[in-house]
Structure 1
Amino acid sequence: MADFDVEAIRVQVRAMDFVRGTPADVTEWRMAYEDSRHNHVIENMIPTPNEDAFWEMMLDEAVSPPLVSQILLRLLDHPDADRSLPITPMMAAGSR
């Protein structure tokens, strides 16, 4: 991944209209994230502090994993990204 302006993304996420996860959902997602993170570390794909901050912010905002994936695609301006998401791609935001 790239270096994200986590707080700028947080502002955009907070402005979105979506169903936030419950505290129980977030606990489950956090456990899955930690498992995934450990697997990545084992494979020597160690997340950067910025990547950790991005994922922590998404959990703080109770964003479901499928929506997190869509937000990432939009941030990276991927061809499969949902262009209707109110997320500014990094290149457009000058973050690359």
Structure 2
Amino acid sequence: MPREPKRPGKTIPLKIPCPMTLTPGQKDIIEYCTVDKRGYPVCFRSGYASLQATVIVGHRERDDLSVTSEDKVFTCQFGRYGHLSSVGKEFEGKELTVIVHISE
């Protein structure tokens, strides 16, 4: 039985009720990474500390960021050292599309 976390997570699963297309802001950055065995995206960027990101499981190109109700989409946060919050061990080895939200 998994233990309960001591503090709330910084990763929030998004419910996608119908097909939609995500449009990143002009300054937003698209990154690609994979998930390690502990469930953390291997996407270390110290310059992104404390920024928010939208994470889509699977590879998506910038001009085709459409998602459906079957896709797994999360809102995550980069920690103070630039590590992205966990998406879960069940996605180990999967590729992620990370949209880093930069303030305009």
Provide TM-score, normalisation by structure 2.
0.21
**Structure with the higher fraction of residues in helix conformation:** 1
Higher relative contact order (CA 8 A, sep 6+): 2
Normalised by the size of structure 1, how large is the TM-score? 0.21
